[in-house]
Structures are given as C-alpha cells and as structure tokens.
Chain A
Amino acid sequence: MVTLLHEQRQTQVPEAAADGDDLWLDGKEIEQATGWTWKPEGLCHGDICVPLPRALKRELVRDGRLNLAAMWRRSGQPLVHDAASRTWALGTSAAHRGAALATLEAPDFTLPDLEGRPHTLSSYGGRKVFLATWASW
C-alpha cells in the first residue's frame, strides 16, 4: 500500500510499487491520485505534456506501469517521500504556480468549513470576494 498526497488529494494505491526513489503506477492509478493522464506522448495535464521519449520508455515503463516519481522529477516538480510509511507527496512547481498567479485569475480551491462541508471559491462568482487568512497560532 502506497499513500499519495497531491494538491489536496490523499489517495491510497494498494497496487503501487515503491522502490527507492522510484514509484510505479498504472494509468488509472495516476489519474486517480494526481489528475494527470498517462498518454503515449507522455504525462499530461491540461495543455501541459511532460514528454516521454521513446529512448526512455524502456527505463520508465515496466509491466504496464510508469515510474511516476521519475516523470515528476523530469517535469521539474518537487516530490518527497517517507520510505517507512510508503507515503509520497507530489508538489507543484513554482513555475506552474507563478504562471497561474501571473494571469491574475484567482487560483480556485475547495476547502471545508468546521462541519466538513466543502466550499469552492469559484462558486462565489458574480460577487466580490475578500479572501483573508488567519490562524490561532
């Protein structure tokens, strides 16, 4: 069992294989855990595709599984794992975050209230939103 953390998702992937710095998942598991799609040309999300050159396929594809960790590193995105608990966190690059912010479109998100009900920023479209942070600490 491998646990994957990506954006706000937390996904258990029973069949994933983790070995050192390598993490092997099939296309369905990748999609479920990250929202990225494994296509013949590479690992894709929206308009972005991290190419998987033919020469690298032998190295990064094994028994119908892709080395997602290696592809993530190839994409320049940060990742880190805890070997003992087989937990992997896949981050988003500053280049990607910065490009999103620079459009001045407010990055969308969904967060729970105290009762666990989800609220999505974009659902307030048509109103002005004063979005403020605070903490008890």
Chain B
Amino acid sequence: MPVWQSLHEDTKDLGLTVVAVAMDQPEAARPWIEAVKPGYVCLIDRDHHLADLYNLVNVPQAMWIDERGRIVRPPETAGSNDGFRAMDRQTRAVPDAVVAERNRVKAGYFEAVRDWARRGAASPHVMDEDRAAARLKLPRETIAAAHVRFRLGLHLLREGRTDEAEALVAEAIRLHPESWAMWRQTARKDDRALASGPEFWARVDALGSRPYYEPMDIATTSDRAAK
C-alpha cells in the first residue's frame, strides 16, 4: 500500500487515478487503510464483486484502464512474484537474493505504471487490442457457478448461518480451485490475521511448478538492466 501512495503522489497530476479495492471485509481492511491514510481512492468489496466481473483469482492483481474506459492491460499480478515460496516456514526469513529479486520485479512494474502515466498510449507497456484480448482470461461456467455460491455463502456468514455458509463456500472453492481470494478470505487465520498457516502452505506446495502469482508479461527497464 505505501507503494500505491507514492504512485498516487507521483502520477495524480499526470492524469492517473489510483483506485485500490480491498477484496475484504470492511472491519479487516480498516486498520490497514487508516495506517496509510491514503490519498488514493480506497474501496471495499466485501462480496468480491470485482473478482466476478474481471475474473480475478488473487491479490494483488491490477488492470490498466485508459481515459476512454478501455482496458489496456488486462488483469495481471500487480508487481508481486513467488519469492515468498523460498521462505523459512519457522522463522519466516527469506534469502537476501530472493528479496532483492522481489524488489526488482516490483520496482520494474511500478516504473512501468509511471511510464504509462507519463506517456499514455505511447507507453510500450500499453497493449494494443489484439494483445490485450489474447492476454485476457475469460471465465468458465464453473467459475460463474462458484461466484454465485460464494456470494450467498458470504451473505449467510454475515447472517450467522455458519453451517450453510461453509457448505456453500466449500463448494465454491471446489468449483474454482484457482481462486486464492475465495480460499484465503474464508480460511482460518493465523496470529497475524493471515491465512498463511499449514493449510496455506499445503495448498501452495500442491501447486508444484505452477505459480502462485502468475508472472507478468511486461518488459521493464530493470529486466533489460538485469540482462
């Protein structure tokens, strides 16, 4: 979030608006927002409506929308990489080289966003329609079936109908196993209010060679420098 605050400050006069949507419950998101006191737009999406609309599966994901309301970069990982998978699960320490690579990837992504803010359609990071369409992930009907169950499940959870809610959420997760958002929103949380206990790691391990954060299709200046 501090990274979005500095992006907001650097680009607000360049015609860019940062809209950050918490796919989260308001009471859980509130302390994070109040700690940053963001100047950018901070919205709460307790039912994960945006995930249904844009076919999102995890956070952070971002899309770039131009002045005419057109998607010029479809949903993608917003600067994160899978470096956390190298974490020592007891001490939560991450090797220095992994941290350095994570910082490089993140900085490169946000430099690309700044380039777009400055240069608009002339930025090399803006996708033409063919590339954007090819990069776009369209939902399957099982995903739509998962979203409607998740929606009713979260509603029933708020109503205190825990058993019915948990059955619906479990079915949603079964129908849409790629969605980390559905799983983590409703999973048991650890002492840091994170869904990052043994069950999380078991799911991550089950990915095998598949990514948790899908790598971004973006050639950044730091990539070129690294070559």
- Nearest chain-A residue to B21 (Cβ)? A133
Is A109 in contact with B67, judged by CB distance below 8 angstroms? no
A128-B15, A137-B24 known; A10-B43 Cβ under 8 A? no
A87-B156, A137-B189 known; A132-B55 Cβ under 8 A? no
The answer, yes or no, to whether A97 is at the interface (CB within 8 Å) is yes
Interface size on B, residues (CB 8 A): 85
Partner of B43, one of A76, A82, A104, A111: A111
- Nearest chain-B residue to A85 (Cβ)? B161
A104-B71, A122-B69, A128-B17 known; A87-B55 Cβ under 8 A? no
In the assembled complex, the Cα of A10 lies from the Cα of B49 at a distance in Å of: 13
Partner of A98, one of B33, B61, B139, B159: B139
Task: Name which of A85, A93, A132 has the most chain B CB atoms within 10 A of its CB.
Answer: A132
In the assembled complex, the Cα of A127 lies from the Cα of B61 at a distance in Å of: 20
The answer, yes or no, to whether B105 is at the interface (CB within 8 Å) is no
A105-B69, A137-B184 known; A111-B21 Cβ under 8 A? yes
Task: Name which of B42, B54, B195 has the most chain A CB atoms within 10 A of its CB.
Answer: B54
The answer, yes or no, to whether B85 is at the interface (CB within 8 Å) is no
The answer, yes or no, to whether A18 is at the interface (CB within 8 Å) is no
A80-B152, A93-B141 known; A133-B62 Cβ under 8 A? yes
Interface residues of B in 140-155 (CB under 8 A from A): 140-145, 147-149, 151-152, 155
Is B55 in contact with A127, judged by CB distance below 8 angstroms? no
Task: Name which of A77, A113, A137 has the most chain B CB atoms within 10 A of its CB.
Answer: A137
Point out the residues of chain B lying under 8 angstroms from A114, CB to CB.
26, 29-30, 33, 42, 44
The answer, yes or no, to whether A49 is at the interface (CB within 8 Å) is no
The answer, yes or no, to whether B117 is at the interface (CB within 8 Å) is yes
The answer, yes or no, to whether B70 is at the interface (CB within 8 Å) is yes
Partner of A8, one of B26, B42, B47, B61: B47
In the assembled complex, the Cα of A106 lies from the Cα of B184 at a distance in Å of: 26
Point out the residues of chain B lying under 8 angstroms from A89, CB to CB.
148-149, 151-152, 155
Interface residues of A in 86-124 (CB under 8 A from B): 87, 89-95, 97-98, 100-102, 104-109, 111-114, 119, 121-122, 124
Partner of A133, one of B50, B71, B117, B139: B50
Point out the residues of chain A lying under 8 angstroms from B65, CB to CB.
106, 121, 128-129, 131
13 A/B residue pairs, CB under 8 Å, sorted by A: A7-B49, A78-B145, A82-B156, A94-B138, A95-B141, A97-B52, A113-B41, A113-B44, A126-B67, A128-B116, A132-B61, A136-B31, A137-B24
Interface residues of B, Cβ cutoff 8 Å to A: 1, 4, 7, 11, 15-24, 26, 28-33, 41-45, 47, 49-56, 59-71, 74, 78, 113, 116-117, 120, 129, 132-133, 136, 138-145, 147-149, 151-152, 155-156, 159, 161, 164, 168, 181, 184-185, 187, 189, 193-195
